[in-house]
Structure 1
């Protein structure tokens, strides 16, 4: 996935490090941020539950619309979760 997004000229980071851990893949566009969490032999639901943690808050501080995409590589299971957040400056 990293190679494909890089070849398309997108702003993509693999193993994005935060103060609370690493995010597998982060794709940033002008309007959105896509957070990819990829697991082997775990369900996509498990992946979503364990990844909705404080480490995502750093990425959610931007005004962009954010999505968490989790995928299990053992089965064809993908879960997309919109990460709604409020911009504290907009209040």
Structure 2
């Protein structure tokens, strides 16, 4: 969720906009650096569509007004409401 915060803030997408967001991914335990193709699509003020095809993962991320991910479906959920 912390790495998503950086991208969400950096891209500052308007509602309805999307962007590719390739990133470096370090695979463990083999310590192999790979390019991770991913993308973000802003759905509204608190939700982003997120897609990472390499992992077969796509979901709708719920975020705070500051861009902190509050719900990363199937992987992580915030115990506190971050504003």
* TM-score (norm. length: structure 1): 0.32
* TM-score (norm. length: structure 2): 0.34
